[in-house]
Amino acid sequence: MIEYIIENYLLMKNYFLGLMLVFGLTTLVGCNWQKYPQGVVAVVNGDCIYLDDLESSSFWDDDFELQDSQNLLSTVKKLYQRRLLHLIWIKLMEQELKKHKITVTPQEVTDAENKIKQDYNTPDEFKQVFINEFVDYSSWKKFLKIRLETKKFVNQLVKPKIKITKQEILDYYKKHLNDFHLPLQVKFILLRSPDKEKLSELKNKNVELNTFNASNVFKKEFAYVDPHLLAPVWQQKLLALSPGEFSEIDNDDKEFYVLFLQAKRKAHYLSPVKAYQLIQQKLFKQKAKEYLQKWLDQKITTSKIEITNLLIEK
C-alpha cells in the first residue's frame, strides 16, 4: 500500500518549494556562521547539513533540468538548492522519528542491502553498478538508510493517522466505475523454432507445454494480456482460438512460430470486493499527501531553519 510514498517520499515537493521560497528569504537565512563547524550550509533545529551532504546527494537530480549552461555558477546553485530542500525534509523527518524513539539500525540497513544484492549474480556484478552509474557506495548506503527511515515514518507515524471507511471506498467505486473495467484478456504460450517439423510434432503429440523443454524450440509464456495490445497478426490468431487450441504454424521472416491459447477472460468489471484494496491504496495516497502537507507546513513554521546566504537566490 505504501510503495508509492516510499519511492516518492517528497510527495509535496512543489508545495515545499513554495514554502521555502516564502520563509527562506525572511526568517530562515542565517548570517552568522561562526558558531557552526566549517562546511555547514544549513541548520535545522540545531542539526547541521554540510556541503559534503549536498555534493553526495545526487540521487534527487533525475528531474533537474540544465536551463543555463552558460552560467555554471547559477546552475550549480540551483542544483544545490534543490538538493538542500530534500535534505531539510529528511532532517525534519529524522527529528520526528527521534522524538518518537524510532530508529533504523545498522543491521536493518545491512539486511536491506543483502536483499538488493540477491538481484545480482555475483558481488562483482553488484559493485560494477556503482562504477557504471558513477555512484559512491557510502552515499548509496546513506540513501538506503533514508528509504528505510521513510518507510518507518510512513508506517508508524503517518499510516495510523489516516482513516478510510468502507463507505468512502464504496463511494469511490461508484464514482469511478470505469476505472475498474477489465478488457478481454488472453493467456497463451509462444513457441518458436527454425524447424517447422518440430513445431508440428508438438501440436500433434499433445505435449504438456507448462513443463515442456526441448532443444531448438524457444518457449515464452504470456499471462493475461489484452490481445488488442499485441501485433495485429497475433491478435487475429488468438481471438479465433478457443482455450486448448493451437494456431496455424506461421513464419515471420525470422523463424517458424505457433501460438497456444491457454485461457480467455471475458471483459468485465471488478467487483467492489476485488477493487477494495486498489481503492484503499488510492485513497491512502491522497490522504497521506494531504496529511504530510499539513505536517510539513506546521514543521516549517515552528522550526528554526537557517540557510547560508550562498545558497539563497538573490
Q: What is the mean pLDDT of each run of 10 residues along the chain (314 residues)?
A: 41 49 44 73 90 75 48 64 83 95 96 92 90 86 91 92 94 94 94 88 71 76 92 94 92 88 93 93 90 86 82 59
Q: How far apart are CA 70 and CA 285, in angstroms?
A: 40
Domain boundaries for CATH 3.10.50.40 within the chain: 184-266
Domain boundaries for CATH 1.10.4030.10 within the chain: 3-163+278-311
Residues 6+ apart with CB under 8 A from 30: 42, 43, 306, 307, 308, 309
CATH architecture of 3-163+278-311: Orthogonal Bundle (1.10)
Longest CA span, the chain: 85
| Per-residue pLDDT, 32 | 60
59 close to 130: Cβ distance less than 8 angstroms: no
Residues 6+ apart with CB under 8 A from 39: 50, 51, 52
End-to-end distance of the chain based on CA atoms, in angstroms? 42
| Per-residue pLDDT, 152 | 94
Residues 6+ apart with CB under 8 A from 94: 47, 149
What class, spelled out in words, does domain 184-266 have in CATH? alpha beta
> For the chain, what is the total number of helices (H) and then of strands (E)?
11, 10
Report percent pLDDT > 90 for the chain. Answer: 44
Q: How far apart are CA 87 and CA 312, in angstroms?
A: 15
